[in-house]
């Protein structure tokens, strides 16, 4: 274990009491917790690890990358890493975050199930806060690479938090795969067309595309481009996802997207896939007037050519976003909105003790990474 990453201390600093299981997945289990000395709630991600030797355990590079990045980030719209918990006897690692009541996926599903629109003021506030958070990341040479509603949390006070930095990368130049077998980044339905077509280099524009998909999903309460995933081989050409995008935005060509002919899967798409007819316009799909400010913002976030997309700084200045709105849990009449928390599952063991040193922080509204030479994290 790299002690420079986790700042291991031999003296336990805080004992957490587990209250219940929030959810689980291939990465491990997330619990809701508190402490005996405080009523503050925490989310503890218990990461699956494997033993190596008597006193070492091996965890995924994805988890180490998340720790390395989050311990230096400080922004109100980015999830805060409170602690890293090491238990060498149990061969485990757990990450402690602020507990956030809601995630955007559940809120969208709430409105979808009730067949009611998400308030316009709420959508504006969510997008404004997302632009702020992602702009902070990009200004500090970080590409998130997995923005989707499940990774966007919303506190009880309506503050948006960007979470799950396991696929994030530090970069100074357009990114290229770290190896020939690097895993595919970005969940399929939010994956930018340059990634789908096999781009070997990409930049922060892939995050803007994902934000555009999220923006559209807030408007229509369903995923904008729901392609069927091709699981036949490693990193295959996702033909159906491309078709879903091109039917709405039109098929690209070298005249509309200079350099597209050099992308790995472009020739394959041209050879094997019939050019999909543009069945409906983006404005029709998201039910917006083509002259509206919301549509102008959306269409410029969903440009097929990544060089033509807005960046987050430009998005923050867009007329649609307007004034700052730090509380997204209000309706169009500025009345508070209330959503139910994720129900907790019962657990057996109820305590966990830290053995790491917490990092110091500056103000909660934002901060800068340490000034040092940037490089892609491997």
**Residues with a known catalytic role:** 146
Tell me if 185 sits within 8 A of 97, measured CB to CB: no
First-last CA distance in the chain: 15
Tell me if 175 sits within 8 A of 202, measured CB to CB: yes
Residues facing 102 on adjacent strands: 154
Q: DSSP letter string over 195-217?
A: HHTT-S-B-THHHHHHHHHHHHH
Residue written as tokens 């599952």? 345
Write 37-45 long-range contacts (CB < 8 A, 24+).
40/99, 41/99, 42/16, 42/82, 42/96, 42/97, 42/98, 42/99, 43/96, 43/97, 43/98, 43/99, 43/100, 44/16, 44/18, 44/85, 44/94, 44/95, 44/96, 44/97, 44/352, 45/94, 45/95, 45/97
Report the C-alpha gap between 300 and 215 in whole angstroms: 12
Give the chain's length: 378
Q: What is the 3-state secondary structure (H, E, C) of 261-318?
A: HHCCCHHHHHHHCCCCCCCCCHHHHHCCCCCCHHHHHHHHHCCCCHHHCCCHHHHHCC
Report the C-alpha gap between 375 and 378 in whole angstroms: 9
């Amino acid at each position: 274990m790299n002690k420079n990453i986790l700042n291991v201390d031999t003296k336990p600093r805080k004992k957490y009491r587990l209250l219940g299981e929030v959810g689980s997945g291939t990465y491990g289990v997330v619990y809701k917790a508190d402490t005996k000395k405080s009523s503050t709630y925490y989310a503890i991600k218990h990461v699956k690890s494997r033993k190596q030797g008597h006193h070492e355990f091996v965890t995924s590079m994805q988890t180490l990358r998340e720790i390395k990045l989050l311990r230096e980030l400080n922004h109100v719209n980015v999830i805060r890493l409170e602690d890293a918990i090491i238990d060498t006897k149990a061969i485990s690692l757990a990450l402690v975050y602020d507990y956030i009541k809601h995630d955007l996926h559940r809120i969208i599903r709430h409105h979808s199930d009730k067949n009611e629109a998400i308030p316009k003021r709420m959508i504006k506030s969510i997008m404004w806060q997302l632009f702020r958070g992602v702009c902070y990341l990009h200004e500090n040479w970080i590409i998130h690479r997995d923005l989707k509603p499940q990774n966007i949390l919303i506190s009880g006070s309506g503050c948006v938090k960007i979470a799950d930095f396991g696929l994030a990368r530090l970069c100074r130049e357009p990114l290229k795969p770290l190896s020939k077998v690097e895993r595919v980044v970005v969940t399929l339905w939010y994956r930018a067309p340059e990634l789908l077509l096999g781009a070997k280099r990409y930049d922060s524009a892939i995050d803007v595309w994902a934000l555009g998909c999220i923006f559209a999903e807030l408007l229509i309460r369903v995923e904008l481009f729901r392609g069927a995933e091709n699981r036949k081989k490693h990193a295959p050409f996702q033909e159906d996802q491309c078709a879903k995008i091109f039917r709405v935005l039109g098929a690209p060509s070298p005249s509309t997207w200079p350099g597209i002919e050099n992308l790995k899967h472009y020739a394959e798409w041209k050879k094997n896939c019939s050019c999909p007819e543009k069945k409906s316009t983006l404005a029709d799909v998201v039910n917006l007037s083509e002259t509206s400010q919301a549509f102008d913002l959306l269409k410029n976030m969903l440009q097929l050519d990544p060089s033509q997309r807005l960046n987050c700084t430009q998005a923050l200045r867009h007329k649609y976003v307007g004034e700052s709105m730090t509380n997204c849990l209000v309706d169009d009449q500025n009345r508070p909105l209330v959503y139910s928390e994720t129900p907790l599952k019962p657990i057996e063991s109820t305590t966990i003790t830290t053995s790491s040193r917490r990092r110091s922080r500056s103000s909660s509204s934002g901060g800068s990474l340490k000034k040092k030479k940037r490089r892609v994290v491997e």
